[in-house]
Amino acid sequence: MNRFSRIGFILAAAGSAVGLGNIWKFPYITGEYGGGAFVIIYLLAILFIGLTVFIAESLIGQNSQANVATSFVTTSKSKNPNWKYASFMVFAGLIILSFYSVVLGWILKYVFISISDLPASSEIAANTFNNLISKDIISQIFFHTIVSLTVIWIVLKGIKDGIEKLNLILMPLLAIILFGLFIYALTLNSFSKSLEFMFYADWSKINSDALLAALGQAFFTLSLGIGTIITYSASLSKDVNIIKSSILVALVDTIVALIAGVIIFAFLFEAGAKSAAGPGLVFISLPVIFEHWGTLGNVIAVSFFVALIFAGITSAVSMIEPVLMFFIERFHMSRKKATIMCGSIFYILGIVALLSMSSSYGAQLTFFNKNAFDWMDYVTSSIMMPLAAFIISIFLGYFVDKKLLEKIFTKHTNLLVFNIWYSLIKYFVPLAIIVLFLNQIGVI
Ligand code: PHE
Ligand code: NA
C-alpha cells in the first residue's frame, strides 16, 4: 500500500521541516536580531505555538486518513461540507514551491561555484551573486528546471517509493554532512564566540518585529499552514503515537537550526565578518570565507551547499504533495495528471519569480513596490500560512468534538498534557495570530 511506515513518516516529516528555513533563514534572521535573545524567543514560539499547531495538523490528518479538504469535513463535529474550503491552504504550497525552487537553483549553481570558482573578495562575491540574480536569466532557468524536474520525478513515484525513499537516503547523508561541518567549526577559535552570540541574551535588540519574525519563522520552519503535516500524517497508521512523533520532529528541526546557526556564525566570526548580513549571508559572506581556506575551503563549501540541496529537496517535495493528494482524491485525477498539472504551474510561477528580479524584466513584474518574487513570499508567509494556522486552531478549539481529541490524546499521554495543549490551541494560538495580523496592518 502507498503509505508511510512509522520511521518513514518521522523521516519524511523531519525532511519536510528541515530545510532552507533552518540552514539559510534561521541563521540570517538570528544575525539580524542580534543573537541570543532572539533565539530564546524563537524557542518559546516553537514550544508554545509551533509544536501546538504541528500536533493539531497531525491529529487532523491521522484521524481522517484523507486529503486536506476531506480531513476537515470528516473531523468536524457537524460534518459540514463547507469545511472543504479550508483546503485553500494547499495552494500556498504551490506558490512557495515556485520561489523555493528558484532559490534551490541558485544553491545548485553554488555547488559548482564551490568546486573551483570561489570569490576572492567581498566585492567579487557580491558581484557574482547580484549578477546571477539580476542578469543571468539563462542559468537561473536552467537550474530551476533541474530542481523542478527532480521534484516532479520524485512525487510521480508516490509516497512510499518516492517521498519515503528519498528521505531514507538524504536525511542520514544530511546528518553526516552537518556533523562533519560541526566538528570542523569546533576546531575554530571562533567557536566559543559563536556559542556566546547564539546563547547569550542581549535583550536590547528585541522589539515587536523580532517577536513576529520568531512567530512567522516557527510556522515556516515546521512546515505548518500549507497542509503538509495533515497530508503526511494522513498516510500514517492510526496506532502510531502522533504526539510523540510530533515532538520528535519539532525537536530535530530545532536542533538542526541551532547547529546550523552555531556552524555559520563560527565561520563568519573566524573571518571577522558581520553577523547581520541578511539573506545574502550564505551566498555572499560565506563563499569568501571558504575561498580563504584554500582546498579545504572548497571541500567545506561543496559540503555546505550540498547539505542545503538535500535539506531543500526533501522540503520541496512536501510542498507539492498536499495539492496532489487534493486533486487525486477530490477530483479523481491520476497521480501523473495531477503532478504534470501542478508541476507546470509551479514551474511557470518560478520563472515569473526569477524574471521579476532581473534588470531587464523586473520593472514589468513589480507591483506596488514589490516584485513578483517578494509578493509570492509575502502572500504565503505573511498571509496564507498564518491564516491557515488560525483556521486550524479555531477549527480544533471550537468545531471539533472535544471528547474525540481527548480520546486520541489520552491513548498516548495523560489528561494534563491534553488540557495544556487544548488551552493553547483554543485560546493562545488564535490570539497570537490575531496580534500578528493587527501588527501587520499597523493597528498595533
Ligand atoms: N519547513 C521548511 C523549511 O524550513 C519549509 C516548508 C514550509 C516546507 C512549508 C514545507 C511546507 O525550509
Ligand atoms: Na525548518
**Which amino acid, one-letter code, is at 46?**
I
Separation of 29 CA from ligand 2 center, angstroms? 13
Task: Supply the pLDDT for residue 364.
Answer: 86
How many angstroms does the Cα of residue 15 sit away from the middle of ligand 2?
9
Cell of 361: 524584466
Distance CA 134, CA 73 (A): 46
Residue 1 has pLDDT above 70, yes or no: no
Residue 441 has pLDDT above 90, yes or no: no
Q: How far apart are CA 74 and CA 127, in angstroms?
A: 54
Cα(280)–Cα(250) distance, integer angstroms: 27
Any ligand 1 atom below 6 A from CB of 315: yes
* Any ligand 1 atom below 6 A from CB of 318: yes
Q: How far apart are CA 142 and CA 105, in angstroms?
A: 8
pLDDT higher than threshold 80 for residue 145: yes
Q: And the C-alpha cell for 211? A: 517577536
Ligand 2 geometric centre to CA of 361 (Å): 32
Separation CA 284–CA 119 (nearest Å): 9
For the stretch 177-195, pLDDT in tens is 999 999 999 999 999 999 9
The verdict on domain 6-440 having CATH code 1.10.10.60 is no
* Residue 258 confidence class, pLDDT cut points 50, 70, 90: very high
By CB neighbour count within 10 A (0-12 exposed, 13-18 middle, 19+ buried), where does 229 fall? Answer: buried
Q: Looking at residue 367, what is its pLDDT?
A: 87
Q: Is the CB of 373 under 6 A from ligand 1?
A: no
Q: Is 252 in the pocket of ligand 1 (CB under 6 A)?
A: no
Q: Which ligand is nearest to the CA of 255?
A: 2
> Which of 20, 103, 167, 223 maximizes ligand 1 atoms within 8 Å of its Cβ, making it the mutation to test the pocket?
223
Give the model confidence (pLDDT) of 93-124 as tens digits.
999 999 999 999 999 999 999 998 999 998 99
Secondary structure of the chain in HEC code, one letter for each residue: CCCCCHHHHHHHHHHHHCCHHHHHHHHHHHHHCCCHHHHHHHHHHHHHHHHHHHHHHHHHHHHHCCCHHHHHHHHCCCCCHHHHHHHHHHHHHHHHHHHHHHHHHHHHHHHHHHHHCCCCCHHHHHHHHHHHHHCCHHHHHHHHHHHHHHHHHHHHCHHHHHHHHHHHHHHHHHHHHHHHHHHHHHCCCCHHHHHHHHHCCCHHHCCHHHHHHHHHHHHHHCCCCCCHHHHHHHCCCCCCCHHHHHHHHHHHHHHHHHHHHHHHHHHHHHCCCCCCCHHHHHHHHHHHHHHHCHHHHHHHHHHHHHHHHHHHHHHHHHHHHHHHHHHHHHCCCCHHHHHHHHHHHHHHHHHHHHHCCCCCCCHHHEECCEEHHHHHHHHHHHHHHHHHHHHHHHHHHHCCCHHHHHHHHHHHCCHHHHHHHHHHHHHHHHHHHHHHHHHHCCCC
Better pLDDT: 6 or 311: 311
Rounded mean pLDDT, 188-216: 91
Amino acid sitting at position 18? V
In the chain, where the domains are located = 6-440
Task: Copy the grid coordinates of residue 242.
Answer: 502522533
pLDDT for the residue 436: 87
pLDDT bin (cut points 50, 70, 90) of residue 397 is very high
Please state the atom number of ligand 1 nearest to the C-alpha of residue 222: 1
Nearest residue to 235 (alpha-carbon basis) of 313, 346, 328: 328
Closest residue to atom 11 of ligand 1, CA basis: 223
**Separation CA 90–CA 86 (nearest Å):** 9
Spatial separation of the C-alpha atoms in residues 235 and 251, rounded to whole Å: 21
Q: To test the ligand 1 pocket, which listed residue (16, 254, 282) has its Cβ within 8 A of the most ligand atoms?
A: 16
pLDDT score for 432: 94
pLDDT at 362 exceeding the cut of 90? no
CA of 217 to the centre of ligand 2 (A): 8
Is 2:158 a contact under the CB 8 Å cutoff?
Answer: yes
Grid cell 468534538 is found at 401
Q: How confident is the model at residue 357 (pLDDT cuts 50, 70, 90)?
A: very high
- What is the distance, to the nearest Å, from the Cα of residue 25 to the centroid of all Cα atoms in its chain? 9
Is the CB of residue 16 below 6 angstroms from any atom belonging to ligand 1? Answer: yes
pLDDT of residue 92: 96
pLDDT, mean of residues 265-294 = 88
Probe ligand 1: pick from 315, 325, 377, 379, max atoms within 8 Å of CB?
Answer: 315
pLDDT of residue 280: 82
ipTM over cut 0.90? yes
| Of 135, 82, 149, 62, nearest in space to 346 by CA | 149
Amino acid at 127: N
* Distance of CA 19 from the midpoint of ligand 2 (Å): 5
* Structural contact between residues 40 and 205, judged by C-beta atoms closer than 8 angstroms: no
- Residue 315 Cα: closest atom of ligand 1: 8
State pLDDT tens for residues 320-353: 999 999 999 999 999 999 999 999 999 999 999 9
Mutation test residue for ligand 1: of 95, 318, 321, the one with most atoms within 8 Å of CB? 318
Pocket probe for ligand 1: among 104, 163, 221, 384, the residue whose CB has the most ligand atoms within 8 Å is 221
The whole-number pLDDT of residue 175 equals: 96
Whole-number Å distance, alpha carbon 218 to ligand 2 midpoint, is: 8
Alpha carbons 322 and 272: distance in angstroms, whole number: 44
Residue 271 burial by Cβ neighbours in a 10 Å radius (0-12, 13-18, 19+): middle
Atom of ligand 1 nearest to the CA of 22: 4
Instruction: Give, using CA atoms, the residue closest to atom 10 of ligand 1.
Output: 223
Q: Which of 270, 274, 295, 294 is nearest to 284 (CA)?
A: 274
Q: How far apart are CA 196 and CA 56, in angstroms?
A: 35
What is the average pLDDT score of the chain?
94
Q: How far is the CA of 224 from the centre of ligand 1 (A)?
A: 8
